[in-house]
Amino acid sequence: MKWFIPAFAAFLLAAAATASPALSDPYTIDASHTHVGFKVNHLGFSDTYGTFNNVAGTFDLDQDNPEKSSVDIDIKTASIDTNHEKRDEHLRGPDFFDVGKYPDITFKSTKVERTGDKTAKVMGNLTMLGVTKPVTLDVTLLAAGPYPMDKSVTAAGFNATATIKRSDFGMTAYVPMISDEVDITISTEARKQ
């Protein structure tokens, strides 16, 4: 579930195509305006939603050649939050994220492919529970340019989605009662350094 967080950094890369001209601009994710969420099905009766509250990352936007952009994201697994403390403690344990042994989920981009004026596919390597697998994010640029509250700041905002199988990373507890497929949604702002 936590694996989605790394993903949102990747969508920021797509903004390069519409942002102001520059060769390569380093951006830092604004954690206070970033949401990394996930959804799993529970017993076929309901969907359970959660977030990861501690995420950090940087990316470089090559605005002339967005395909050359890159992203590097880190998510702290212990920050999982499903609004139910007993369940969250279980999720932090060895059945799921095993946060003592695997405190981080990381995403490192490998390729950016533009699919439209404000959309892109961002491919990268997601590492969770010590397992690294390729993941593709569908990214949409929301805005890029001067920050309305402080015109001296340049910002970019993105939404991203992906679906992964948790069993691909070795997280097999309670499949299929708790769905193997996990839907990930990410919304983030980033500030140019």
Rounded CA separation 66/171 (Å): 34
**pLDDT tens digits along 94-145:** 999 999 999 999 999 999 999 988 899 999 999 999 999 999 999 998 988 8
Rounded CA separation 20/146 (Å): 9
Stretch 179-192: mean pLDDT = 94
Here the tokens at position 92 are 């932090």
- The pLDDT of residue 168 is 98
Rounded CA separation 126/110 (Å): 11
Rounded CA separation 154/76 (Å): 27
Higher pLDDT, 66 or 167: 167
- The pLDDT of residue 23 is 58
Share of the chain above pLDDT 90, in %: 70
What does 95-147 look like in DSSP terms, one character per residue? Answer: TTT-TTT--EEEEEEEEEEE-SSSEEEEEEEEEETTEEEEEEEEEEEEEEEEE
Q: What is the DSSP letter of 167?
A: G
Share of the chain above pLDDT 70, in %: 88
How far the first Cα of the chain sits from its last, in Å, is 29
Rounded CA separation 12/145 (Å): 13
Higher pLDDT, 13 or 44: 44
Confidence tier at 18 by pLDDT (50, 70, 90)? very low
**pLDDT tens digits along 49-77:** 999 999 999 888 776 777 888 888 999 99
